[in-house]
Amino acid sequence: YPEAAVLDPELTRTLPPGITAATGIDAFTHALEAYVSTAAHPLSDLYAREAIVRIARALPVAYANGDNMTARTDMLLGSLLAGKALATAGVGLVHAMAYPLGGMYNIPHGLANAVLLPYVVEYNIIGSPERFADIAGLMGYDVAGLPLIDAARRAVDAVFNLTYDVGIPDRLADLGVEENRIAEMADIALTVARPVANNPRRPSRDDVIHIYETAFDGYE
C-alpha cells in the first residue's frame, strides 16, 4: 500500500461538473453510510461527521465553479475523512444496491450511489433516527425542537436537495435501467453481505425491490 497520499486541489480544477457531482456524492455516501453503520464507533464518527459537513458545504460550490480552490480542498479533505470512516465502519445498502447497476448497465459507481442515496436514506431513517437527525443538522438544517422522527426526516430533504443542486438524476429510468429486471437486481444486491449487514435497517427482498421501484419512477 502507498505510504502517503498527496491531496492537491489543483489536480481537480478541470474535473467536469458531472464527474465532480457523481464522485462528490459517492464520497458523501461513504461518510453517511459509515455514520449510520451498525459497525460505527467513536473514531469513525469523528471522521464521518467532519466529512459530512465539508462535503455538504463544498460540493455545490465545486460543482458550480471548479476553479474555487477552497471548495476543491474541502472536497479532497472530506473524501479523505470519509474514506477513513468507511475503512473501519464500512458502507451500507446504497453500495449494495449500486453494484448491480454498474455490473448490469455500466452505470458509473458514483452516479449509481448518487441516484439511490435519497431513496435509501428515506428507507433507513426509522432504523437510526438519532443519527439521521444528526446528519440533517450537520448539513445545515435546523432540527432544534422537532420530534425525533421529524428531525430525522429532514435528512431525506437535505440529501435530496444536495443531489438536486449538483444535477444528479432522480430516476433510474433515466439511466437506462429496465423495470423488468428490478427483482434480479434485488437478488444480486442482497448477496453483497457486508454492506447489507452494516445497514441500520435489515432489508428484506421486498424492501429492496420497493426501493428500486421508487427510485425507478423518481419523486413526483
User: pLDDT at position 194, please?
Assistant: 95
Residue with the larger pLDDT of the pair 4 and 61: 61
Say what percent of the chain tops pLDDT 70: 100
**Is position 160 within any domain?**
yes
pLDDT higher than 70, residue 37: yes
Closest CA to 60 of 74, 80, 50: 74
Mean pLDDT of 163-183: 97
Which range of residues forms the domain containing residue 77? 13-217
34 and 89 Cβ atoms separated by less than 8 Å: yes
**Is position 5 within any domain?**
no
**Is position 1 within any domain?**
no
Mean pLDDT of 176-196: 97
Mean pLDDT of 169-186: 97
Structural domain count of the chain: 1
Note the pTM of the prediction, 2 decimals: 0.96
**Positive or negative, the Cα torsion across 198, 200, 203, 208?**
negative
User: Mean pLDDT for the chain?
Assistant: 97
Q: Would you place residue 137 in the very low, low, confident or very high pLDDT band (cuts 50, 70, 90)?
A: very high
Give the Cα separation of 18 and 167 in Å (integer): 7
pLDDT higher than 80, residue 220: no
pLDDT higher than 70, residue 101: yes
CATH code: domain of residue 171: 1.20.1090.10
